[in-house]
Amino acid sequence: MSTPENAERDTTPEVILLNELQLLLSEKRTSLSTLRTGIAIFAFPLSVLSVLIATSRSYELRDVMPLLVPLVVLNLALTALATYLIVHAMRRIRHYNQVIDEFKRRHSQLAKLLD
């Protein structure tokens, strides 16, 4: 005869597995958010430079050079930050996909939920 205590012990491993899976998926969502942020940061310097190029007939380069140099340096820094975020997020996403694949191989009953 099964008691409520035994039933609770039987479901504990499944609960732990589901919690591990939720943690992995939330970490993957965080990496996807980092990727989205990196792409947005990468788009900003490109849009600023396109505006500068489009309006280049309205100003003399030597007159705006004191403003242009810090802007280009800032754009380079933002591009470097965006590149780092994108590469880091892609590595983390690949890592979490590998861990999830291993999780599916070890626990066939949960593999159906992940496919």
By CB atoms closer than 10 A (0-12, 13-18, 19+), residue 107 is middle
pLDDT in tens, the chain (115 residues): 445 554 444 455 778 888 988 999 999 999 999 999 999 999 999 898 888 888 888 888 788 888 888 999 999 999 999 999 999 999 999 999 999 999 888 887 777 777 7
Q: Is the dihedral of CA 52, 53, 59, 61 positive or negative?
A: positive
pTM (2 d.p.): 0.77
69 token code pair: 């140099």
